[in-house]
Chain A
Amino acid sequence: MGRALAALVVLALVAFAGCTPRSKAQRSGPFLSISPREASAPVRSAVPPATIALALGGLPPEELGHLREYLAQSTDAAVRRAAPMLFDLGLDDADAASATPDPLRQALPDVPAWTAAANVLGAPWSAPGLSVQLVPTCADGASRCVPLFTATDDDRNDALVRRGRALAWSLGNAALLRVPASSRAVVLQALRRVQTRPSGTIALVFAAPRGTLDEAELERLREQARAAMAHLPPDSTQRSWLDALTAARPSWELPLAFEADEILVVPRLSAMARLQDFREEVASGAQMRQP
């Protein structure tokens, strides 16, 4: 078992480094098609409707129940604004002084997963002066077209590619591991154990490009979300997440396909300047053994 696992680690690391021994044809896609566009005003992206289901699909299965328990602890009404920073001149001391703990904060360990899921489903991505699409093949005329899973030094030195990959940060920096079926459960569990570390770098782990949540458990979560909503004021900015929870469907699907022997690992937004830590965390997850 030990040797098998060591072999698995080597395979995983090789795959992670983008040198997986897949055929050239297999490595041909997907791609990020990156194009400059006329500069526009800063944008606020909408939360795609399927975000919650995808996030729950990429979290450990037990997290669905944990999230319901977090919400069940709900006793307070609103998430208040945090203490003002120096330049938040419009925030009065009442805001700062009367803010109360909110039960939704209990669910915050899951927020990086929600954030990442929203970005995964956000294609095509756009920012002032930039547009990025996830495409199966490169079309003629694209300003830049780079393999999704293989970032090179040339990419990093090209400002347009760098910014494009940052805009599509979740998939643009994800790791695709090839794991033999015999070790799949072990590696998956190990990665998900690493994933739940508060200071970790992993947001989502997918064993398949599509799946279905436990419908009964999801319904209990939806009920709890509806109950939590009752405690929020109508203008609470937290309502949209709870709305999304109440509307979550059991099925989820990634916008890209991968093989049955592969695992997709998506980093957290907060880890973008710590991608080496992400790589090491993925590698360490792949090396962990079941207790």
Chain B
Amino acid sequence: MRKLPVSVCSLCTALLASCGNSTSGPSGSTDGGTGPGAGSLAGTWTVTTTPMGGGAVSTTVTIAQDSLSITSPDFTLTAVRTGNVLDFTDNDPPSDPSNAAALAATQTAGSFNVGILPFNLGGTWAMQAGPKGGTPTVSCTLSVSASEIDGSCQYLAPAGPWFTFTTKKMSGAASSLGDFGGHWLNTWTWQGTGGGTYPCTMDFTGNSITTCTGGAMNGQVLGSPLAGITFTYDGAHTISGAAQGWAEFSATR
């Protein structure tokens, strides 16, 4: 659970940041602006997260063009883009490189306006993940368009289903996140024994993201992993929100 708020914050940050070779949207400055939607998230962020049962965790997230690094007491994650391939390496814990995991995501670019966000996300992605240097154990696909975002993951060894999701835009809204702006319906399906299907609405408006209520707040741990997320960027130097409805985070650069 400790990793989840960091992951949510970092993923949102990564999503909003320049991890890719931007093909749409303006490139941002490095110092950020002062108004909503101004600036870029590039820089070094100190992220505070609050795992339940322990003290606050301070994590450093550094975002730069084509690279992202996260250094937390529990794990380190680096992401570097080369051409159309985004490579992630996760050391968990950081002191045990033999436990490193890797994910390689290959993009076939497509149209998607990310608004102010210099992140080339549109198109389809094919991902493989597993122990670093070892045989991939998980395979995923992701397709991103202005009207629909779908994905799925499955285990490779032994072969078996994991999850799938579809995300349909129900209506549009003004958002600094371009084509993300609007009201979306995500339907998440955990496959296999004990699985189930869980709808979750998501709203992208202005500089904020709000997903359906749930997560730990109502005990729907088995439900959508997207439930209970709030994310707000103040347009300058601060991000804050919550994951699972309670695990708060903030980040300042």
Contact = CB atoms under 8 A, between A and B. Distances in A.
Contacts of A270: 230, 240-242, 248-250
B250 A166 contact: yes
Contact of A83 (B48, B222, B253): B222
B6 to A, nearest CB: 10
Given A270-B230, A270-B249, A43 B219 contact: no
A82, A85, A122: which has the most chain B beta carbons within 10 Å? Answer: A82
A87 B54 contact: no
Nearest to A47: B55
Nearest to B79: A87
A87 B4 CA distance: 10
Interface stretch (B17-25, B116-124, B186-194): B186-194
A104 B1 CA distance: 14
A89 B52 contact: no
A241 to B, nearest CB: 5
A100 B221 CA distance: 7
B88 interface: yes
Contact of A97 (B90, B140, B192, B242): B192
A245 to B, nearest CB: 12
A102 interface: yes
Contacts of A119: 56
Given A88-B7, A237-B51, A270-B242, A80 B221 contact: yes
B81 to A, nearest CB: 16
Nearest to A119: B56
Interface string B195-216: 1000000000000000000011
Nearest to B129: A89
Interface string B1-41: 11110011001000000000000000000000000000000
A237 B54 contact: yes
A174 to B, nearest CB: 15
B101 interface: yes
Nearest to B76: A42
B83 interface: no
Interface residues of B, number: 71
Contacts of B2: 237
Contacts of B103: 86-87, 89
Contacts, number: 193
29 contacts: A42-B59, A42-B73, A44-B54, A45-B55, A79-B53, A80-B221, A81-B4, A83-B223, A86-B140, A89-B129, A89-B138, A90-B99, A93-B155, A93-B192, A105-B216, A105-B218, A111-B246, A111-B248, A115-B248, A128-B46, A162-B252, A167-B48, A169-B48, A238-B53, A241-B53, A270-B230, A270-B241, A270-B248, A272-B239
A249 interface: no
A161 B54 CA distance: 27
B80 interface: no
Contacts of B99: 90
A159 B253 contact: yes
B244 interface: yes
B66 to A, nearest CB: 18
Interface string A254-286: 000000000000001111111100000000000
A7 B245 CA distance: 37
A208 interface: no
A39 to B, nearest CB: 9
Nearest to A85: B7
B57 interface: yes
Given A82-B4, A93-B192, A97-B193, A240 B222 contact: no
Interface in A16-43: 41-43
A169 B250 contact: yes
Contacts of B57: 42-45
A119 B59 CA distance: 16
B239 A236 contact: no
A99 B221 contact: yes
Contacts of B73: 41-44
